[in-house]
Amino acid sequence: MFYRQSGVRHNSYSSDRDLFPIPADRYALWFFLALGIAAPWLIDGLYLNSYMLPWLLWTAAALGLNLLTGWAGQMHLGYAAVMAVGAYSTVHAVRFGIPWEFALLIGGLSSSVIGSLFAVAALRVKGLYLAITTLAMQFVMDWVLNHSPAISGGSHASLQSPTFALLGQDITSDAGLYYVALGWCVLVTIFLLNMRRTGLGRALVAVREKDFAAAILGVNSFYYKIIAFATSSFIAGVTGAILVATFYFLASPEQFSVNVSIQVLAMVIVGGLASIIGSYFGAALILLMPGIVNGLFAGFADMVGLQFGPETLAHIPNAAYGALIVIFLMVEPMGLGKIYGNIRDYLLVWPFDQMKK
Amino acid sequence: MDWVFLAELTVNGAITGLSYSLFAIGLVLIYKSSSVPNLAQGGLTMLGAYVVLAFSYELGWPLWVAIPLAAVIMFFVGLGIERVALRRLAGRPIVMILMMTLGIDIFLRGTTLAIWGGAPRPMGLGVSYDPFFVGPLLLSRIHIVGALVAIALFVAFMLFFRSRQGIRLRAISDDYMASWSVGISVERGVGLSWALASVVAVATGVIWGEIQGVDQTLSLLLLKGLTVAVLGGLDSIVGAIVAGILLGIVENVGSGYLDQMVGGGSRDLVVAAVLILTVMLRPHGLFGRHDIERI
Amino acid sequence: MSSEETNSILSLNSIEVLYDSVLLAIKGVSLEVPNGGMVALLGSNGAGKSTTLKAISGLLKSERGRVSRGEIRFDGKIIGDVPPQDRVHMGICHVIEGRRVFEHLTPDENLEAAAPVSMSRQKINDEKARIYEYFPRLAERKASQSGYLSGGEQQMLAIGRALMTQPRLLMLDEPSLGLAPFLVAEIFGILQKINREQGVSILLVEQNALAALEIVSHGYLIENGRVVMHDTAEALKANSDIQEFYLGGGEGKNFHDIKHYRRRKRWLS
């Protein structure tokens, strides 16, 4: 009823190119942003920092990978390795005495550089072979992290992150850390929203659809693939650094293992390729799912009076996580973003939807 | 230079490599008939080993009953995976197919561990651990058994792909549409390849379960198996065998010397390096087919 | 009409095809192929010829299309729900457009792949020998990789592969595509021979109307997803519209004439 395209009349080109032409979309956006800003007063600190904060950061990571996989169509199974590069260089830079603002930049840029190495692979091969190569690079990175104490921080292979600070101000409170995550996630979102309607975004889509054809149209697919990898790796690096600085407080190799790469890809796929809102949904689902499944399963076990060993309970969320990916790909391969889009399309015509038939 | 050391590394590497080939054959079977890279083969291998144990260890049946029985069960598991999960994805982008096989892998691993637990168990094949000398070289008996099984499977599948059903599978991998047009049941063919790969997974699981114990590390064979398959050229059974031997040698010799420098654990690094180099230099591997493009 | 129906191996009764549940690709096509006859389906690009063939062979399924109305009868039986591979077993074989041979198989293996599962070894060898008789060029190259055969040889292989399925109705989608005229003549000659010697009915889809009308007995003209004309080959060849639009006849057109023809063509459909 209130969600209408009718009545929206564009009087200028800039209004025609609005990100959200439908007023209801804009109101919803401001509402959720306000909700996000008000969250520290609405939500308990524990939940804020163990659910909201990682959700926002993983969303940022998923958006970065979505830029590469969803828009530019390049497979990446080593995304966590790129995040690790950013995280470790940032932490080392800070420990060296560089302020966090610059250290984050250094982390992002070093991720870009390493990430562009992955792009070199993308210039030679695509699809499956690119996936395999990036997977192998992930293993190389794991190995390097695990076997070089200078990087990973000594015998326990863990590196303490110094206290996070911006503009000379130490940030230690729950709310402060949360705002850092929120700010970064919003920044990445705005970047991606705008990228879609620039020449860069369109060129990336052209490269995804058919890189030879794009080349014939004058799109330098070589250049755009590198750009895509570098940009997405920058996002990965900064996200990885913020994740360590505000959530883990300790960098260790298994935080960036191959399973994490798969997890981020799962967020992108479950959320929907090339869907921004989908990445928010996907990250939420993949992060929250183990807890929910555990709760449900324990409840179910209580109900029917069955006793399960701790091993079983420990591995059920994993099985459910795999099943979730499989079921999503079977039922709605385009992910939650597509489901959201379908609901939106339905609401656009509700209650006159019979007109369509 | 210690020549005996080098020779021992080489021969043992080659034999170990053939056990990797075992895993790679499973990958190749599916890729050859449907061009789907099966990243779930690790999970299948693990499940195969646990199903064998379920019969032999928990029910106390002899292995010569348990293994064929597990093979039959896994045959239907493979058929089921294709029928339920993969068939709907035909024609979708490769990223989704890869994610599907990864999802299946995670699911299989989680389910297996949820049912049977993660503590390592012995396979109990009864292959002696006594030292086995050929001249001055010390070899491992179980690896030799693995190599023999790999070669037996290799011969079996070479014959299979020359048979009429095998030719049909190869036709399917070339062109789905054309296969339908001449009455080949594409779905059944692809299902068969999954079923066969799952049977191969049982063989892999039994051999590697004997080598390193049955636990979740069995699924980590994926990296090595994948490297062998890619090096051999994803759709070549011969390639899987040759590349297995090659990778085994390179890995064993390379890490044999590298370990002394970096203090151990360089095996995965060597394997990953081989994988990257292969894709960069020769993506179609040693024996893989090139796609023929006529304009 | 009824006597004709019993005598026809294939009959389409005003079928419609929907792609993706929205796109109506053909809208009411009816045609008959007499038992042992040769019929051509003519039309320009995008007229719906290939879609018609795919509706008959069941290959629409793989392109998310379906027959939404009308019925297809093969040998008097309605085959709407029969899966594609079973239609092949019934005797319908579709040589798809663009000579898609199994590129990584040899011609010999291409033929074996197409042999029905129940066919005996002996029979397969007999059939292969028979096909190599029709296409001696294939016999020469039977052990080389099919992807490297020339265009004409690939087309011959595609036809030979279809013959392996023991068809009673052979449907060919633009076998002349991209081939030199002498090759087209050779292939069409062989088709005629197959039709005569084996009694295989043939439904030929062609843009090359001139060549097609030489060998068939009847022709259907399809445009914008509808059959707009149906007659014997002789009558079609003599028809002035056909001559103008499809046979490249008509000398010395001027602008006024072209406008005139356009109008007539629209009236046709």
pLDDT in tens, B78-123: 999 999 888 888 777 788 888 899 999 999 998 998 888 777 888 7
Neighbours of chain B (3+ CB pairs under 8 A): A, C
* C-beta of residue B140 within 8 angstroms of C-beta of residue B132: yes
Mean of pLDDT over chain B:
85
- CA dist A197 → A16, A18, A104, A188, B5 (Å): 12, 10, 27, 15, 62
Given B175, B185, B294, which is nearest C102 (Cβ)?
Answer: B175
pLDDT for A63 equals 92
Percent of chain A predicted with pLDDT > 70: 89
What is the least distance, in Å, from the CA of B267 to any CA of chain A? 10
| Per-residue pLDDT band at C2 (split at 50, 70, 90) | very low
> Is the pLDDT assigned to residue A130 strictly greater than 60?
yes
Residue entry with tokens 């991720």: A111
Q: Is residue C154 part of a domain?
A: yes
pLDDT, one tens digit per residue, over C82-109 is 888 888 988 899 998 888 888 888 999 9
Is C101 close to B178, i.e. CB distance below 8 A? yes
Between A203 and A55, residue with greater pLDDT: A55
Q: Is residue C269 part of a domain?
A: no
pLDDT for B228 equals 92
Given B167, B180, B181, which is nearest C105 (Cβ)?
Answer: B167
What is the least distance, in Å, from the CA of B195 to any CA of chain C? 19
How many of the other CB atoms lie within 10 Å of CB of A221? 22
Q: Which residues of B touch C87 (CB under 8 A)?
A: 183
Is C93 close to B289, i.e. CB distance below 8 A? no
Is B181 close to C88, i.e. CB distance below 8 A? yes
Question: Which of B:85-104 have CB within 8 Å of C?
Answer: 91
Q: Half-sphere exposure (CA, 13 Å, Cβ side) for C214?
A: 12
pLDDT, one tens digit per residue, over C17-72 is 888 777 778 888 888 888 888 999 888 777 788 888 888 888 887 777 888 888 88
Strand (E) or helix (H) holding C222:
strand C218-223
Between C229 and C6, residue with greater pLDDT: C229
Question: Which of B:255-274 have CB within 8 Å of A?
Answer: 262, 265-266, 268-269, 271-273
Closest chain C residue to the Cα of B91, Cα to Cα: C62
Q: pTM surpassing 0.80?
A: yes
pLDDT for B1 equals 59
Please tell me the least confidently modeled range out of A154-168, C61-75, C163-177. A154-168
pLDDT for A6 equals 65
pLDDT for B156 equals 92
pLDDT for A248 equals 83
Average pLDDT over residues A311-340: 84
pLDDT for C253 equals 52
- Taking one residue from B and the other from C, the number of pairs with CB-CB distance under 8 angstroms is 82
* C-beta of residue B292 within 8 angstroms of C-beta of residue C103: yes
> Is the pLDDT assigned to residue C228 strictly greater than 60?
yes
Structure tokens at A105: 């930049």
pLDDT for B104 equals 93
| Per-residue pLDDT band at C181 (split at 50, 70, 90) | confident
Is A326 close to B100, i.e. CB distance below 8 A? yes
**Residue B86 per-residue DSSP state:** I
Structure tokens at A229: 């990898």
Average pLDDT over residues A133-151: 82
pLDDT, one tens digit per residue, over C149-162 is 888 889 889 999 99
> Is the pLDDT assigned to residue B8 strictly greater than 90?
no
Neighbours of chain C (3+ CB pairs under 8 A): B
pLDDT, one tens digit per residue, over A260-316 is 898 899 899 888 888 888 889 989 888 888 778 878 877 887 777 777 777 777 788
Average pLDDT over residues A150-166: 71
Range of the domain at C34: 2-238
Please tell me the least confidently modeled range out of B239-253, C151-165, C203-217. C203-217
Domain ranges of chain A: 20-257
Q: Which residues of B touch A205 (CB under 8 A)?
A: none
Q: Which residues of B touch A271 (CB under 8 A)?
A: none
Average pLDDT over residues B132-136: 74
Domain ranges of chain B: 3-215
Pairing of strands A159-160, C23-34: unpaired
Between B12 and A234, residue with greater pLDDT: A234
pLDDT for C4 equals 45
Using CA atoms, how far apart are residues A294 and B166, in angstroms rounded to an integer?
Answer: 45
| Per-residue pLDDT band at A328 (split at 50, 70, 90) | confident
Using CA atoms, how far apart are residues B203 and B48, in angstroms rounded to an integer?
Answer: 8
What is the least distance, in Å, from the CA of B90 to any CA of chain C? 9
| Per-residue pLDDT band at B198 (split at 50, 70, 90) | very high
Using CA atoms, how far apart are residues C132 and C164, in angstroms rounded to an integer?
Answer: 11
pLDDT, one tens digit per residue, over A49-77 is 888 888 999 999 999 999 888 887 788 88
Average pLDDT over residues A137-164: 76
Average pLDDT over residues B5-16: 85
Q: Is residue A19 helix, strand or coil? A: coil
Residue C166 makes CB contacts below 8 A (sequence gap 6+) with C91, C116, C119, C127
Q: Is residue A95 helix, strand or coil? A: helix
Is C145 close to B292, i.e. CB distance below 8 A? yes
Q: Is the peptide bond before C175 cis (omega within 30 degrees of 0)?
A: no
Average pLDDT over residues A19-23: 71
pLDDT for A353 equals 55
pLDDT for C3 equals 41
| Per-residue pLDDT band at B48 (split at 50, 70, 90) | very high
- CA dist B275 → A49, A81, B165, B235 (Å): 40, 17, 32, 16
Closest chain C residue to the Cα of B178, Cα to Cα: C100
For an interface test with B, give the residue of A155, A329, A338 to mutate (most B CBs within 10 A).
Answer: A329
Q: Which residues of B touch C94 (CB under 8 A)?
A: 181
Closest chain A residue to the Cα of B277, Cα to Cα: A133
Average pLDDT over residues B57-74: 87
Q: Which residues of B touch A66 (CB under 8 A)?
A: none
> Is the pLDDT assigned to residue A105 strictly greater than 80?
yes
pLDDT for B107 equals 92
Mean of pLDDT over chain C:
82
> Is the pLDDT assigned to residue A16 strictly greater than 80?
no
> Is the pLDDT assigned to residue B37 strictly greater than 70?
yes
Please tell me the least confidently modeled range out of A161-165, B5-9, C74-78, C163-167. A161-165
Residue entry with tokens 């000594």: A154
* C-beta of residue B147 within 8 angstroms of C-beta of residue B18: yes
Neighbours of chain A (3+ CB pairs under 8 A): B
Burial A245-261 (b: 16+ CB within 10 A, else e): bbbeeebbbebbbbebb
Given C59, C110, C112, which is nearest B181 (Cβ)?
Answer: C59
Closest chain C residue to the Cα of B176, Cα to Cα: C62
> Is the pLDDT assigned to residue C112 strictly greater than 80?
yes
pLDDT, one tens digit per residue, over A220-266 is 777 878 888 889 999 999 999 998 888 888 878 888 888 889 889 98
State the total domains in chain C: 1
How many of the other CB atoms lie within 10 Å of CB of B63? 18
What is the value of ipTM here, to two decimals? 0.85
Using CA atoms, how far apart are residues C88 and C94, in angstroms rounded to an integer?
Answer: 8
> Is the pLDDT assigned to residue B155 strictly greater than 70?
yes
| Per-residue pLDDT band at C263 (split at 50, 70, 90) | very low
Given B181, B183, B185, which is nearest C96 (Cβ)?
Answer: B181
Q: Is residue C252 part of a domain?
A: no
